[in-house]
Every structure is written in C-alpha cells, then in structure tokens.
Structure 1
Amino acid sequence: MEKSALQIARAAYQPKLPRGLKGAVKAVEGAATQSVDNQEEIKALFPNTYGMPLVEFVPGEEKSYEPMNVGIILSGGQAPGGHNVITGLFDAVKRLNPANRLYGFILGPGGLVDHNYMELTKEIVDEYRNTGGFDMIGSGRTKLEKVEQFEKGLEIIRELGIKAIVIIGGDDSNTNACVLAEYYAAKNYGVQVIGCPKTIDGDLKNDQIETSFGFDTACKTYSELIGNIERDCNSARKYWHFIKVMGRSASHIALECALQTQPNICLVSEEIEEKAMSLDDIVAYIANAVAVRAADGNNFGTVVIPEGVIEFIPAIKKLIAQLNDVLALPEAKNISRDEQVDFAKSHLTAENLAVFNSLPEGVARQLALDRDPHGNVQVSLIETEKLLSEMVAKKLDAMKAEGKFVGKFAAQHHFFGYEGRCAAPSNFDADYCYALGTSAAQLIAAGKTGYMAIVKNTTAPADEWKAGGVPITMMMNMEKRNGEMKPVIRKALVELDGKPFKTFAAQRDRWARETAYVYPGPIQYWGPTEVCDQPTKTLALEQSK
C-alpha cells in the first residue's frame, strides 16, 4: 500500500494512554447499577448481565495471564479512530500475553455469522495506526439478534478458540452486543462480549460515556469545510449557502460546528420539537433573517441544518411514527413500491393525512417508501437543504410583494456526510480510541461480559483520563421499534438547558445579522515540514528533472 507523507508521519504518532492503563492494571469495582428506565422489563430480559458494577482501571501489580484469542467486529457507519481501537486492543492483548491472537471478522457482524475472518498480525495492524476509515476489516449493518446467528457465530468462536468478542458500534450495535452477551451468559458458553462507543453523530453519550469516538474529528472536518464556504460566501457576497450535516437523531454535530464557525443560522432539531415549530415556522425564521441581512446590504449567508431536522417537527414526527407502524403491518410486506404510498395514506388518521398531503410530493414519497435496516425513515436521503431553500425563496417572493424584502436571494446547497466519516483521526480521537481498545482488552482480562469500554475525564490531559467499563444494561430502556417494544440504548439529544446550547443561543441573534464567521482551518494543519510544506503533485512533476 503506497502511503502519503502525512500517513507516514502520522503512523509514527504514539497515542497517549491514561495513567490507569499504563503498565500493570487492576480492575476496581464500584456500585451496582440499574437501567436508566423500565428497570423491571430490562432486568427480566437480561437476568445474567443486569445490575453489574461499574469498573475503573488503576495501576496494579504485574501478574501472568493464560493465553487467549479475541475477535473484533466493526459495525455500522464509519467513524474516525476505529483503526486505533483495533490497534489499542491488539497492543494490549499482546502485552497481556504475547501468545494471544486477534481475529478480525470481515465486513461487520455478518463476518461472525458467515465465518469470514482474518488474523490481525503486527504487519497488518501497523499499516493502519492513526488512520481513518474501517478498511482494515470493513464494516457492515447485519443485526445480531437471532438465536441462529448466535449459534452460527459460536461455531467459529469455538473453532478459533476465541474467549471474547469486541463489537465496535453505535447504540443499535451495542444493544445487539448486550443481547449477544446475555445469550452466551445464559447458555454458560464462556464467551465474553465487550462493546465500544462509536458514532460521529455524538448521540451515544450519558453519565458514563462522555463522547463517542469520531465526533471530534468529524466536527473539525465539517467545520473546516463550513469555514471555507463562509470565506467564499463573504468573498463572493451573492449566495446563501444551505449546509446539511450528519445527525439524524440529534443535532450535536450541527451545534458543535456552529460553535466552531459562527454561521448566520443553525437549526437545532431538539429546539424545534420543544417549541412545536411547523415547517412554515422554520421557513419564516430563515426568511426573516435573510430579509434583515438584505436590508443591511448583505445578500449572502450560511445556514447549518442537521440532517434529521424534519423528523423533529412535531406534526411530521407524529406522521412518521404512524407511517412506521403502518409499514410494519404484515400486509404491507406484500405490496409493491408503487402501491406503498396509497397503502400508507389509506391507513393514516385524518390529521396525519392532512400533514402528508401538505408536503412537497418528493418528500411525502420519501417518507412513505424507504426504510433503513432498523425500520427508520432514511432522512439522509431527503434533501432538506433544498427543500428549505426552495420554501424560503417562495416566502421571500411573498414578502417582496408586500414590500417586506428588498434584496436578492440565490442559494447553494451542500451535504457533508461521507466527507467526515473516514477523515484521519484528530489527536483526541487517536488517543481516545487507543485507550478504548486498551480498556476493552482489560475488561476481557478481568472476566467481564456485557460491558462497554469507557474513558472519562476527557477534557483533562490524556494521562489523567479515567478508563474502565460500564454494563450496557445500565444505558438501556424500552422503545418502540418496527411496531414492537424493544430494549435499546437511549439516545442522547442536545440538552436545551445545557451549556453548549445556551452558549449558542446567547450569540445566535448577533450571528444572524452580522457576518461573524470563524474559519477553523484544516485539522491537519500541524506537524513536520514534509507534510505541511508539500508543493502540488502537478508542480513537483512539472519541475522534476
């Protein structure tokens, strides 16, 4: 594999570890835990992995460990730092006993079921240190939830002599990890299952998980791009840029990027829901800001939009909830796509049907058709940025006719998704992920199962971070999925009384009117001359002798 100068320099970076994970490690158990809600139901579903104590790792005394083999799975969408979880796990299991082996299951959880795997050797692992992406072993979205899958996975686990499986994923993947841990524990199979918190969306966090990995890098990457657009916007002075960013179920990315770049407008889905805003309310809010800036002679601006905003508009949220139930009906499984919209409409309440019919045709069809593997609307496919800019343009035309808008409005559209998912991890994510992988190894060594590796106190220097594990059941509650109540890890939404949102809210009126843009610049704007001072390849080739 040919490497860039950046990759070569980055490979030499040695991630920092918390004091408790350096050298010999001791696991200290804390108080017993309970789930965040629905305690009786969760306890009944997970009798073998419920109520376990929190674990923290502190410096301990050297001891010897029997050889063990470990399997690792990347699950769901990519997030910067995934490779460092693997390298951290690899280095830690080798330190525990050099005879230990690590096996990667190819293309996600499906690799476990299909017995598709590879042994991860030092030569392989060294190629991927501090790199973005999940390409070392690939990822997938197969859900581990059926007994046949668990038993099929057990066959290869037994064949390879695997003691524990580490699943790196988001809330759904870690819910599945908990179900798998419970099944193997109930059957007394002696197979441990450990999770790691991954999602760039930032919605896998709580009292124990301060942040999910990849969020730091993704926000820096998107903020660099938003800053570039703001600079262009302030230079050309003729476009309103509508920028959609990742974040289906929460607005953490949009809010963080707004704090880093100070756009004119940033929508926060959770606030829209709290205020029971309609689609028209949102359009009016943006149009009024455009009009105010136009009156000042500024016919340009930036609007940051979380990709899931449409799901948070209360009337549309109610519609989607009923659509999800309707499309989960047995009779819905046997109808063609062409019939699906009419089928959905025929089952809607009068109130929801009115909302459905009020939407632009393309958006309405989207809501009634495509679903992801978890049964959710695929909101990332809805071009919310275009929908909003078109509706704002219509609103401004009406305002112009009434003499309330004197200016020009022209829009540009952007969606930042894939641009951030596989970026080279920031120093924070490189360190954080390496520590998570190391924690996962120590949880296995301590005989734990049904735990998620965690690292806390992350605003302090890495040496002062606190590493450990939290029982996955502690983070669970019951929610409706595909028409049924299921145990899931509760998603973390933006807290409107939290400091990040309050800081944003205190400044946004000024940002809306003024041009207060901040240009963060590239996250890799650091380091050695051979990285930072490279000429273009064109120039180098043109001038080569």
Structure 2
Amino acid sequence: MKKIGVLTSGGDSPGMNAAVRAVVRKAIFMDVEVYGIYQGYNGLINGNIQKLELGSVGDIIHRGGTMLYTARCEEFKTKEGQKKGIEQLEKFGIEGLVVIGGDGSYQGAKALTEWGYPCVGVPGTIDNDIPGTEYTIGFDTALNTVIDAIDKIRDTATSHERTFIIEVMGRNAGDIALWSGLAGGAETVLIPEEKFDMDDVITRLNKGQERGKKHSIIVVAEGVMSGNEFADRFKEATGMDTRVSVLGHIQRGGTPTASDRVLASRLGAKAVELLVSGNGGRAVGIEKNQLVDYDIIEALAKPHHIDLEMYNLSKELSI
C-alpha cells in the first residue's frame, strides 16, 4: 500500500489533530503518501482531497478541533453516497483509509469495509462510548474541562448556599457525567444508563442539610434530560429554587491534555501500521495501556457499558 487517506468525522474532540499528525508522519516514515480528506464524508463524496506533507501537520499537536474540519453527511448513509466516496478514493489512487471519529464515523468505515475497501477506525469522541477501547481521544480533555467548571461553580454554590444543576454532554453514554461527578465531588450524578428516583435525590440532599450542608451539586447527562427540565421537576417536588449551568460545546474545545495527545499519537500510528500491513476492516483501541485492534463490524455490534462499580462509588462517597 503506497497511498492512504485520513479524515475526521462527526463531533470534534481535542486530540484529533494529534491523531492526524501521527497518521501523516508515521505514513511518510513508512514511505507511504498521505491524503487529507476535508469535511469528513461530505468532503469525500465531493472530492475535497489534498496530499499532505510533513509540514502540513506542523504545530497542530497542541490545538483542539481538527485541521481537516468535520461535517455530518446523511448522503454517505446511502449506497449511492458510499459509491461516490469510493469513486473519489479510486480517482486519487488512495488504497486505504483512516477514519477518526465516533460511532457515526465508525458506521461509515464499516460500510466501506463491507464494500471491500480497507479502513481502520480511530476512536475520537469526548463521549468515551466506542466499544473495544477503554478510552477515546478527547475524553480526558473534556473531563478536565467539566471538572474545572464544577470546581468554579461549587465556589458560587457555597457562597450563595444553593443547589446547582450542571448539564454535561452524553446523549447515550454517561461517562462524562459519572467521571466528572466523582472527581468533582457531586452530591448526585444522573446518567442515561441508570434510572433515577427523584425521591432518592431529595432524600440525599435532605440528609446533607440535616448535618449542616447548605449547598449541593447535581450533574446531569443530557441523555437523561436537560438541566432546565430537571430543575423544573426538582422545584415541583421540593419547592426549592436551583441554578442551572449548561456547559454545552465548551466541553469539546480546548488544548488537549498530555494524556489525549499521547493516546492520539499511539492510536494514529497503529492505524497506519495496520493498513500498510494489509489489515483493513479494523479499529484500534487501548486496554490496560496496551494497543489493541479488533474487527470493526464485530465491535459496532457490541453495546457500550458504563462502570456501575464507579457509579455506586459516587453514591457512597457523596453521603
């Protein structure tokens, strides 16, 4: 294999640039040409493709977002759209593709794999919800962004003796809420994987007040409900006013942590090694600090699981 492509797709995550850099430089080190595909699968269909050199990825390892830009593409979910993408890859002589992104991006790579086109998926999403890897690129950075916000909001919650509700990202996966809630000492953490009982939430807060606690932090994953909706339900049940902070897209931006930069570099380089050695239809990940790869079709058939021991621990430590 002498020519490969790389694209980023779906929601951006800190560390994607580090992964792109690793793909480009590892490939050139192995005497393979690299082509950047801009605007994800949308750019693939439209032929927005350029050859990348060593200097093309200089000074990007520390930058959040993605230099290749990203976009969602409904057309690529169709057979016709996939055929157009493959035609563009063949036009440029690109023999294999590295796809950096989350579940939707992997679905696109899976489709290309089923067409017989060699792809390797690299997990880039702040949600940490890709099967087959303990951590995804961007999760650590997003987590630290949320923890920093929780720490700041707690200062205000303490000063005003209020309950604050913090809404974080995570439609189908509660990892950001769980990890940040545990690290930030939240009194209550609500995740989409586990049902919650409003009476239990109220009881826990009342117990805290009985021992003199005058402020509380409740972290809500967006997949449970919006922070404002929860605040309305909480007020209806208790008569208590709360303050809501929706962190939104601030969680996706910012300089990637050292952990995300290293993870992205290792996974990006591994993806190139797999393609060049003729192993397409794979996805890369990390388990027990060791790089792993697995069949991308089989991986997408597996559900994402939350760490319930950690969830229970968050309850035990916030009594």
TM bracket (short chain)? over 0.9
Cα distance in 2 for residues equivalent to 1:243 and 1:301: 11
Larger Cα-atom Rg: 1
The answer as to whether partners of 1:209 and 1:455 remain within 8 angstroms in 2 is: yes
For residue 195 of structure 1, the aligned residue among 118, 121, 135 is: 121
Cα drift, residue 72 of structure 1: 1.1
286 and 500 in structure 1: CA distance in 2 versus 1, 3 angstrom threshold: closer
Which residue does the alignment assign to 1:385?
Answer: 227
Cα drift, residue 114 of structure 1: 0.8
SS in 2 for 1:305: strand
1:72 and 2:6 correspond: yes
Which residue does the alignment assign to 2:201?
Answer: 286
SS in 2 for 1:148: helix
SS in 2 for 1:102: strand
Which residue does the alignment assign to 2:134?
Answer: 210
Which residue does the alignment assign to 1:175?
Answer: 107
Cα distance in 2 for residues equivalent to 1:153 and 1:250: 30
Cα distance in 1 for residues equivalent to 2:209 and 2:153: 19
For residue 250 of structure 1, the aligned residue among 161, 170, 173 is: 173
Pairs within 5 Å for 1:101-120 = 101-120=33-52
Pairs within 5 Å for 1:230-249 = 230-234=154-158, 236-249=159-172
1:338-373: CA deviation from partner (whole Å, max 9, x where unpaired): xxxxxxxxxxxxxxxxxxxxxxxxxxxxxxxxxxxx
The answer as to whether partners of 2:15 and 2:61 remain within 8 angstroms in 1 is: no
The answer as to whether partners of 2:163 and 2:218 remain within 8 angstroms in 1 is: yes
Which residue does the alignment assign to 1:137?
Answer: 68
Pairs within 5 Å for 1:441-456 = 441-456=272-287
Match for 1:214: what amino acid? G
159 and 271 in structure 1: CA distance in 2 versus 1, 3 angstrom threshold: closer
Cα drift, residue 209 of structure 1: 1.4
1:474 and 2:298 correspond: yes
Cα drift, residue 500 of structure 1: 1.8
293 and 87 in structure 1: CA distance in 2 versus 1, 3 angstrom threshold: same
269 and 148 in structure 1: CA distance in 2 versus 1, 3 angstrom threshold: closer
Which residue does the alignment assign to 2:304?
Answer: 492
Cα distance in 2 for residues equivalent to 1:293 and 1:453: 44
The answer as to whether partners of 1:171 and 1:491 remain within 8 angstroms in 2 is: no
Match for 1:431: what amino acid? V
148 and 197 in structure 1: CA distance in 2 versus 1, 3 angstrom threshold: same
RMSD across aligned positions (CA): 1.9
Which residue does the alignment assign to 1:457?
Answer: 288
Cα distance in 1 for residues equivalent to 2:193 and 2:91: 48
Which residue does the alignment assign to 2:216?
Answer: 301
138 and 297 in structure 1: CA distance in 2 versus 1, 3 angstrom threshold: same
Match for 1:471: what amino acid? D
Cα distance in 1 for residues equivalent to 2:155 and 2:54: 44
TM-score under structure 1 length normalisation: 0.56
What percent identity do the matched residue pairs reach? 25
SS in 2 for 1:469: strand
Cα drift, residue 506 of structure 1: 2.4
269 and 454 in structure 1: CA distance in 2 versus 1, 3 angstrom threshold: closer
SS in 1 for 2:176: helix
154 and 473 in structure 1: CA distance in 2 versus 1, 3 angstrom threshold: closer
The answer as to whether partners of 1:88 and 1:433 remain within 8 angstroms in 2 is: yes
Cα distance in 2 for residues equivalent to 1:491 and 1:96: 35
Match for 1:79: what amino acid? S
Match for 2:144: what amino acid? K
Match for 2:55: what amino acid? E
For residue 396 of structure 1, the aligned residue among 238, 262, 274 is: 238
Cα drift, residue 150 of structure 1: 2.5
Match for 2:315: what amino acid? A
SS in 2 for 1:111: helix
Cα drift, residue 298 of structure 1: 4.0
1:200-232: CA deviation from partner (whole Å, max 9, x where unpaired): 111113xx3122111111111101111111122
Q: Which runs of 5+ in 1 are unaligned?
A: 1-65, 186-190, 311-383, 398-408, 459-465, 478-489, 511-545
Match for 2:68: what amino acid? I
The answer as to whether partners of 2:28 and 2:54 remain within 8 angstroms in 1 is: no
SS in 1 for 2:95: strand
Match for 1:230: what amino acid? R
Cα distance in 1 for residues equivalent to 2:98 and 2:124: 12
Cα distance in 1 for residues equivalent to 2:27 and 2:166: 43
Cα distance in 1 for residues equivalent to 2:315 and 2:231: 23
